[in-house]
Amino acid sequence: MLKIAHLDLPPLQGAAGTLRLPGSKSISNRLLLLAALAEGETRIEHLLEADDTAVMLDALRALGCAWHRNADGSLTVQGLGGHLPVSQADCFLGNAGTAMRPLAAALALLAARDGGHYVLRGVPRMHERPIRDLVDALRELGCRIEDLGQPGYPPLALRGPASLQLNQPVRVRGDVSSQFLTALLLTLPLVAQQDVVIEVEGELISKPYIEITLALLDRFGVRVQREAWRRFTIPAGSRLRSPGRLQVEGDASAASYFIALGALAATEAPLVIEGIGRNALQGDVRFADAAAAMGAQIEWRDHALAVRRGRWPLRGIELDCVAIPDAAMTLAVMALFADSPTRLTGIASWRVKETDRIAAMATELRKLGATVQEGADWLEVHPLRAEDWRTAAIHTYDDHRMAMCFSLAALHPLAGATPQALRILDPGCVAKTFPDYFETLFDLVQARSEDIPVLCIDGPTASGKGTLTERVAERLGYHVLESGALYRATALAARAAGIAWTDEARVASMARSLALHFSGGRCYLEDEDITDALRAEEIGLGASAVAALPAVRAALHELQLSFRRVPGLVADGRDMGTAIFPAAPLKVFLTASAEKRAERRYKQLISKGFSANMEGLLRDLEARDLQDKTRSSSPLVPAQDAFLLDNSDLSIDASVEQVLQWWAQKQAFPA
């Protein structure tokens, strides 16, 4: 997961491949609560691992519910049988509405029946999201609920005991959020000694989410009687009983970004999305129909769908999105690539989500150059002409869906626009529901090599260029290439395969297909960490031997070029800025005095328990510097346009900040 201030996406030109969706957030948190309240043990497979489920799991543990992760990644929850073992708890729920609303109902009812004092709180934005309609319904039942902040909003204190009044229908508004009704449906079986009736006031929005709730209740043994969408009856004597084993289907809301990606950019081969099918519980699966109406070609398969571009440009549509409010955000970005305006209605619930999504979408779409109109419950987006696309830094408002749907705007070259980078601010907000969203996206998209940015860092031995490379790449969310490790890895792999280091043809053939990658300062061949093995003296000798073979150097040249992948690359080592990536927009030549480098190497060796001698280290470094500068092949010299960085008296943090400052000067993003 990216934990960086911003992510710069290069202009994207295409997409293809296969992905597996994360588990549905809506299903995951409903299942966790039902499993916790039910009788018996529940094993949940493919549970979403994200911020929203993490806060729910933390809250359940604070309430006395035991759960554990299994070796296969599934989760086992020990049901409480409708009785909490703790009478007090303070639960932090972040910005997870799917945790706050149902837990508020559950704890209000259980405190009323059994006594207790429970507090629910979240991040500041959660304290701005209305919960009054649910609280009013619970108070009508007799629950004692105290507003700890602004009335009608979290945080809340839920106290008991209290006398519950279940002989009259429970009334709840349905036109603000379906989560209020879901909260009551999930929790009223706990106190249903008699038939309990819920009546919905106003038009019920997001009906597909209620269908999810009813279907899951049925799996836990509670069959709710529904009269249209106005009246719901929970039968007397209802009890939540674990079905034993359940599987979470893929997240249909998350699927919307990749359906759109396929509709926009899958021209040569389809984009295949696994983990969801047409008969999914989630209403957002209907987003596929909306995408098809705009021109996407969609093929349904068993538990998957394949998407590719059909009509181009896309067709502007007018759509009532009350059934797909979350996924509809993606349509607003797709509208930029259409041939006529797209009008989305029935989206009043956007106003009370993680942010005011109608206002946020309109603001950020206008940054890109679009004409946008908005109303209380609608948004109209006009397509962008090729010449009107603007460079933009997209504010995400700590809203995961803003980050994910706006990433699609990086496909603007497909609309004929001049290729330019797109900045996504706070990309880590996707952790709420899809922590690996951007990494998944990178594996599917294509860009012209010349559009993918590269930073090159070179310098003498022990200058700290490897550490600097890792830290800069981490701050930018870019890939890493440590060129020196390639020759050592080639020698290591050749030895493992029984190939002589002097066998030029076979070593070169093997070098072309080395499955090498770098992460967290470590080097991996396939899935094996070979970092320590590369440091062996014998492998160093082998690296020198294979580096002298022209065919091997040519093969590794091609391999190094292949590391230039979306979203960008920080390349460390000899020749990076002169021979491999001569057009890189930023080249840094890092150096320090031989005395300072010897001192650093001495401290490094001593800290690892090795004996070392300062004078000997200094002589070795001076000899290595002379050899590197005078060698006939690839001598150590700065690229002509390199920035020189003497870090003799700089900390690594200061060096990183200097490189990032130089990099920022190369960018063209508005403030």
| CATH number, residue 668 | 3.40.50.300
Name the one residue in this structure whose structure tokens are 């609309």: 415
30 is in an annotated binding site: yes
Tell me: do 555 and 640 sit in the same domain: no
User: Which of the listed residues 198, 219, 247 is the one where a domain comes to its end?
Assistant: 247
| Whether pLDDT at 219 is above 90 | yes
367 assigned to a ligand binding site: no
pLDDT mean over 26-34: 96
In a domain, 292, yes or no: yes
Digit-coded pLDDT (tens) for 55-95: 999 999 999 999 999 999 999 999 999 999 999 999 999 99
Of 3-7, 78-82, 615-619, the one with minimum mean pLDDT is: 615-619
Clarify whether residues 429 and 289 are in a common domain.
Answer: yes
Q: 666 labelled as ligand-binding?
A: no
Q: How far is CA 626 from CA 116, 631, 637, in A?
A: 76, 8, 11
- Is the domain of 162 the same as that of 299? no
Tell whether residue 25 is among the known ligand binding residues.
yes
Q: Are residues 213 and 188 in the same domain?
A: yes
Residue 82 in contact with residue 71, Cβ under 8 Å? no
Query: Span 488-510, mean pLDDT?
Result: 93
Total structural domains within the chain: 4
| Together in a domain, 526 and 654 | no
pLDDT(520) > 90: no
Nearest alpha carbon to residue 570 among 636, 621, 521: 521
- Does 97 show up as a binding residue in the annotation? yes
The answer on 508 and 466 residing in a single domain is no
Residue 565 annotated as lining a ligand binding site: no
301 lies in the same domain as 181: no
pLDDT at 137: 95
Determine, yes or no, domain membership for 193: yes
297 among annotated binding-site residues: no
List the Cα angle 545/634/485 in 5-degree steps.
55
Q: Which residue has the higher pLDDT, 480 or 520?
A: 480
For residues 237 and 299, membership in a common domain is answered with no
The verdict on 301 and 387 lying in the same domain is: yes
Residues with Cβ within 8 Å of 148's Cβ and at least 6 positions away in sequence, in order, are 119, 121, 154, 155, 156, 157
What pLDDT, in 10s, does the model give residues 371-395?
999 999 999 999 999 999 999 999 9
73 carries a ligand binding annotation? no
Domain assignment present for 1 = no
The torsion of the CA quartet 129, 375, 317, 397, rounded to 10 degrees, works out to -40
102, part of any domain = yes
Domain that holds residue 380: 6-22+249-445
One-character DSSP codes across 579-638: IISTT-SEEEEEE--HHHHHHHHHHHHHHTT----HHHHHHHHHHHHHHHHH-SSS----
pLDDT, tens only, 425-437 = 999 999 999 999 9
In the predicted model, is pLDDT for residue 614 greater than 80? no
Instruction: Look at residue 605 in the predicted model and tell me its pLDDT.
Output: 73
- Alpha carbon distance 491, 645 (integer Å): 32
Question: What pLDDT sits at residue 356?
Answer: 96
Together in a domain, 61 and 206: yes
Q: Of 422, 445, 468, which one is at a domain's C-terminal end?
A: 445
Of 518, 544, 566, which residue sits at a domain end?
A: 566
Active site residue 326: yes
Among the listed residues 326, 399, 426, 572, the single catalytic one is 326
CATH of the domain at 174: 3.65.10.10
pLDDT digits (tens, 9 = 90+) for 462-496: 788 889 999 999 999 999 999 888 988 999 999 99
**pTM of the predicted protein model:** 0.90
In a shared domain, residues 190 and 54: yes
Alpha-helical (H) ranges within 374-416 are 400-406
Q: Say whether 596 counts as a known binding-site residue.
A: no
Residues 146 and 176 in one domain: yes
Q: Please check if 564 is assigned to a binding site.
A: no
How wide is the angle at C-alpha 217 spanned by C-alphas 226 and 328, nearest 5°? 75
